[in-house]
Amino acid sequence: MEKTNVTRAEALELLRQGSEVTIPEGKTSIDSDAFKGTAITKVTIPAYVTEIGSGAFENCRELTSATISWRAAQSLRVNPYLVVNQIGYGVFADSGLKSVTITEGVEHIGEAMFSGCTELVEVKLPESLKSISYYAFMSCVALESITIPQGVTEIGEKAFYGCESLKKIVIPDSVTRIWDEAFASCAALTDVNILWGLTDFGVGVFNDSGFSLGEKEVYEIIAAGRENSVAKVRRKLNLQENIDAYERLLLLGIPSAREMHRDINKVYNATIYGHWIVYISNNNIYCVREDGTGKKCLKKSVHNFWLEDDWVCFDVFTGNLIVKDPYGQGDIYETKTKRVRLPEN
């Protein structure tokens, strides 16, 4: 039976055929250290590769370009007690990479994957990406810019630590967690845009960089992220449907709709489901038929809602304090999702 892994011996055989390597079809894994320290100059890793070992291309100083399409997960739970990493540690660490293209479908960048790639200047990340693991781009000192796609939820510890040339970063609102020192020691980093999705913010995220956040700003970022149900609801509701719902509420003469309709930030507070218009008024959820009949209060004292089939879902405060606000901006409390069914048409 033909082996499905690229061993060290097979890697050297591939290099005898040329320094530019495409992992052959039928090979679904690459052994640890398989190409380590070799004279490979370019590599293409297709989607049929699902596992890659630690240091597979480590210290390949002549390797300047990599195209990555693998479908390896960062980790795979084999059973309730065993989790196996499918992307090894430091796959391209200390290599001579100058450009990296990671294609659509790839969801994870592994631990220390590109750490110490001191000549890396161009990185293209896919919209499918979900996480950037710890040390992923640590000490990539030539990297000046990188676009973190919408959809990434987590940036690992020291992911960009010591990227001395990095000047600007945008953190999309899909990112909920940034781990310790993720952008520390980035001396040129002065332009940072955080789009209010964060619920966990590590220690010293921007330590010794050109950008700094005080304790109060960090608290406000976390508070905005944890209480930003608006972003959550906007992803679940269709904006045009929200606008149509408010226009119908205005035609029905519902007073609360008039003021809210003028504020685009509150449009998410209404939508249409079947013959029902569901909306928030004075922090209460109401439903009313399109002809104005059957108005009913579904839930009092809420600040958001979204629909799942004929269920109206909403967040309520549990009373458990998460963070005590030392600045008088309002404490943060844990929320729990509940739901109530719409009346039958």
- The mean per-residue pLDDT over the stretch 14-28 comes to 94
Task: List, for residues 236-247, the tens digit of each pLDDT value.
Answer: 445 567 777 877
Does residue 247 fall inside a structural domain?
yes
For 256, residues 6+ apart whose C-beta sits below 8 A from its C-beta are 279, 281, 282
**Which tokens hold the place of 299?**
């839930």
- Determine the average pLDDT of the residues in 276-281: 86
Residue 229: per-residue pLDDT: 42
pLDDT class for 230, splitting at 50, 70, 90? very low
pLDDT of residue 85: 47
pLDDT grade for 65, boundaries at 50, 70 and 90: very high
Q: Is 133 among the domain residues? A: no
Residue 255, in any domain of the structure? yes
Residue 83 is predicted with a pLDDT of 36
What is the average pLDDT score of the chain? 81
pLDDT at 282: 78
The whole-number average pLDDT for the span 23-27 is 92
Residue 263 falls within a domain, yes or no? Answer: yes
C-alpha 37: how far from its chain's center?
33
| Domain contains 40 | no
Is 194 inside a domain boundary? Answer: no
Each residue's pLDDT tens digit, 202-225: 888 888 998 877 655 665 666 556
pLDDT of amino acid 313: 85
pLDDT at 27: 92
- R_g of the chain, CA atoms, integer Å: 25
The residue-averaged pLDDT of 195-208 equals: 81
- What is the C-alpha separation between 282 and 303, in angstroms, rounded? 9
Long-range contacts at 217-224 (CB < 8 A, ≥ 24 apart):
219/323, 219/325, 219/326, 219/327, 219/329, 220/329, 221/194, 221/196, 222/198, 222/323, 222/332, 223/323, 223/325, 223/329, 223/330, 223/332, 224/196, 224/198
Identify the domain containing residue 335 by its residue range.
236-341
**HSE (CB half, 13 Å, CA atoms) of 281?**
20
For the cut 80, the answer to whether the pLDDT of residue 61 exceeds it is: yes
Q: Is residue 335 part of a domain?
A: yes
Number of domains in the chain: 1
Q: What is the pLDDT of residue 39?
A: 95
269 is a domain residue = yes
**Per-residue pLDDT at 122:** 93
- By 3-state DSSP, what share of the chain in percent is helix, strand and coil, each rounded to 5? 15, 30, 55
| Mean pLDDT of all residues in 146-154 | 91
pLDDT digits (tens, 9 = 90+) for 90-145: 999 999 999 999 988 888 898 999 999 999 999 999 998 999 999 999 999 999 99
- The pLDDT score that the predictor gives to residue 50 is 85
Mean pLDDT, residues 313-331 taken together: 64
Instruction: Output DSSP code: residue 339.
Output: E
